[in-house]
């Protein structure tokens, strides 16, 4: 009987020590993750948080931080999963709801994203980022009036936020208000003239309005600011086509494809350009790739 009591005591002691060891290891993983997070080493941070989560499942702080890492890495499904779990433990955690909304945006789940942002806005009605994000989700659902209302409210609070002007310009353009869209993009460039996306987008609208020379200036500036932005080359290629400069268009599409090889439209557009240059082999190759990507 005495030996049984001693054995039970030893087993209990081992269990406590093991549990304590696991807790310490999880704490070290968590700290390593936090260190990597602060240094914006998102892959490393996510890996450490995963180790901590495996040792001690269900820690809200770990799930929140890993979810943010996944957002930074554009791993939206995994981010949504982490924020879902946080909301299971803490249904009123507004930061988790915001994070899940952003993940849903990334996944193209615009209905779910708009619902998350609306719920978060009921708690923080003056959050400009939430208004901008909900406006973006609503614009993708075709609810342009509601989207514009969100962007306008956001701009009342932050009249020098170029991203909101950019998003509003996209809605105005889709609504047929091209001149107003151009005004918004002019404001974007005024506030951030280094942004290749703003420059290229303004060039595209300027081209649609018939001013190709000015549009090409914007495309050239966009490429100079960021030679790794595929949109600059894509839009400039369209400008070259409009000017009948097929060789230059083909070269720009080629560079755009190097930067964005899985975009089927680029392959199709270069194929159409190849026909103008009587390059049948290039046409056949590009159309085969287009068909492969659109299966």
Give average pLDDT by consecutive 10-residue segment, the chain, 295 residues.
46 42 76 89 94 87 92 97 96 96 98 98 96 97 97 97 97 94 97 96 94 96 96 96 96 97 97 96 97 94
Buried/exposed 211-231: b ≥16 CB within 10 Å, e otherwise: eeeebbebbebbbebbeebbb
Give the per-residue pLDDT at 101.
98
Rounded distance between C-alpha atoms, residue 71 and residue 76, angstroms: 6
Q: For the chain, first and last CA: distance in Å?
A: 73
- C-beta neighbour count of 140 within 10 angstroms: 18
Give the per-residue pLDDT at 28.
85
Give the per-residue pLDDT at 21.
54
Q: Kindly give, in sequence order, each residue whose CB lies less than 8 Å from that of residue 282, ignoring residues fewer than 6 positions away.
A: 250, 270, 271, 274
**In order of start, what are the domains of the chain with their CATH numbers?**
26-104 (1.25.40.10)
Q: In sequence order, what DSSP letters do the residues of 202-242 get, joined into one string?
A: HHHHHHHTT-HHHHHHHHHHHHHH-TT-HHHHHHHHHHHHH
pTM score of the predicted model: 0.83
Give the per-residue pLDDT at 107.
98
User: Can you read off the two tokens belonging to residue 37?
Assistant: 């997070």
User: Can you read off the two tokens belonging to residue 59?
Assistant: 């820690």
Give the per-residue pLDDT at 248.
97
């Amino acid at each position: 009987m005495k030996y049984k009591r001693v054995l039970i005591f030893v087993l209990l002691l081992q269990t406590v020590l093991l549990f304590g060891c696991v807790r310490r290891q999880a704490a070290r993983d968590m700290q390593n993750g936090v260190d990597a997070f602060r240094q914006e080493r998102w892959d490393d941070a996510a890996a450490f948080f995963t180790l901590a989560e495996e040792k001690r499942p269900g820690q809200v702080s770990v799930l929140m931080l890993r979810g943010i890492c996944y957002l930074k890495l554009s791993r939206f499904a995994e981010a949504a999963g982490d924020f879902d779990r946080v909301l299971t433990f803490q249904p009123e955690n507004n930061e988790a709801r915001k994070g899940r909304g952003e993940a849903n945006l990334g996944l193209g789940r615009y209905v779910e994203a708009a619902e998350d942002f609306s719920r978060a806005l009921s708690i923080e009605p003056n959050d400009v980022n939430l208004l901008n994000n909900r406006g973006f989700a609503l614009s993708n659902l075709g609810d342009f009036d509601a989207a514009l209302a969100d962007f306008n409210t956001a701009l009342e609070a932050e009249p020098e936020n170029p991203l909101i002007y950019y998003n509003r310009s996209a809605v105005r353009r889709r609504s047929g208000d091209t001149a107003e869209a151009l005004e918004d993009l002019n404001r974007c460039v005024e506030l951030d003239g280094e942004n290749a996306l703003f420059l290229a987008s303004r060039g595209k609208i300027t081209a649609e309005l018939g001013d190709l020379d000015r549009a090409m200036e914007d495309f050239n500036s966009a490429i100079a600011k960021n030679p790794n932005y595929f949109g600059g080359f894509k839009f400039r290629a369209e400008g070259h086509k409009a000017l009948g400069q097929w060789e230059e268009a083909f070269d720009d599409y080629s560079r755009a494809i190097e930067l964005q090889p899985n975009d089927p439209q680029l392959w199709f557009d270069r194929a159409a350009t190849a026909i103008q240059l009587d390059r049948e082999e290039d046409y056949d190759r590009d159309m085969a790739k287009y068909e492969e990507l659109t299966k």
